[in-house]
Amino acid sequence: MSKEKCNPYENMLAMLDKAAEKLGLEYDDYVGLRYPERELTVSVPVEMDNGKKVIFQGYRIQHSSTRGPCKGGVRYHPSVDLEEVKALAAWMTWKCAVVNIPYGGAKGGVKCEPEKMSENELRRLTRRYTAMILPIIGPEKDIPAPDVNTNAQVMAWMMDTFSMLKGYAVPGVVTGKPVDIGGSLGRAEATGRGVMFTVLNIIDKLKLEANGMSIAVQGFGNVGGVAAMLLAEQGFKIVGISDASCALYKKEGIDVKSAFEFAKNNNRLLKGYEEPEMVEICNNELLCLDVDILIPAALENQITKKNAHDIRAKIIVEAANGPTTNEADEILDKKNILMVPDILANAGGVVVSYFEWVQNEQYFMWDEDYINNKLKNVMDKAFEDVWKIHQENNVSLRMAAYMVALDRVARAKKIRGIFP
């Protein structure tokens, strides 16, 4: 996947300043939100299967605890660095605020190549990383979750490590766990389901019909793959899909359920999947397909000033965090491409993570239909809040989402004041 070099934290700050200006905030009203509350960098020693000891760089950043415990995923990826994790933590603050759940933002990551590591090596890495960030995490402080290249099993190792060091079971220390140890029904599909609700909300506002509308999805994991399957069930035609191994296009629509099953049994990769009349294209061609809706669901900085002029989708729904650079955003806005931002569109995961945490704290389990209905209610309400600001202030949906989020966090910060 292409990734133009830019500083994602600077991108976040630029949007923050513009939103503050639109809201009429003084610099003093939000200056604290320009900086993370806490940055932890750890060196994680791991004994590899061949007996060699390797030191991995890890991070846990807490951007804001103004509205509640910090919340955010942990990713394993070679691109992980401090600026990326800082930006992701800040985006979590805005994401939690825009859907109005009582969390602040955090994020974690380890710079590694997980696809080249054995399960035992990943387990040792996870346990040592968890032990090293243990002083700042916990159900009442900071609750990690899965992100890029981490999953329910990684969360199980994190939960077990934390619990062993505490001396008792603490299921609420992470979310996205297996259901057998306190995970929530519906959590694995929650981000993709939230994207689906967002797509339905935007086409409803535009008075469009799902049947026959074409969609291209970049990224085909738990977010992009699930969103594609759910949208296909709603009548959309998924004509393009991609992951790190390849990009595929079929004008009449891809059987996404079959493709998802293939990837699940093929190391989570699409390479080798075939259908009649389907062709392999490059990632940038997928982003620039002539479709009704484009869903970037991979990594940040995929739509840049280099390819934004070639984007032909009428609507973009950001399922990944930060897939569009600020420069690209301006280009797309001038082309009248409607952009539904990440902090709104992909918030389904953190919403159901919140539900999981509540269930853990109450020692109670909700059924899946109840969870999915509650998720829909939260996503629909958040969309309406953002759409109202979009209409009333004649601003982009991204700016509207930032305005909603910043207003909530800045008001909470003002009420709490500064200690001491």
Q: Which residues are identified as catalytic?
A: 107
Output the CA–CA distances (angstroms, integers) from residue 337 to 213, 285, 310, 346, in the order listed. 16, 18, 12, 19
Residue 281, helix vs strand vs coil: strand
The answer to whether 327 touches 343, Cβ cutoff 8 Å, is: no
Contacts of 276 (CB under 8 A, 6+ apart): none
Dist CA 113 CA 136 (whole Å) = 25
Give start and end residues of each alpha helix (H) in 212-341: 224-233, 256-264, 283-287, 326-334
Assign 3-state DSSP to the chain and report helix, strand, coil percentages, each to 5: 50, 15, 35
Tell me the sheet residues that pair with 144. 72
Q: If 0-12 CB within 10 Å is exposed, 13-18 middle and 19+ buried, where does residue 181 land?
A: middle
Q: Which token pair is 366? A: 């909700």
- Tell me how far apart the alpha carbons of residues 136 and 142 are, in angstroms, rounded to a whole number: 7
> What is residue 106's three-state secondary structure?
strand
What number of other Cβ atoms are within 10 A of residue 262's Cβ?
A: 16
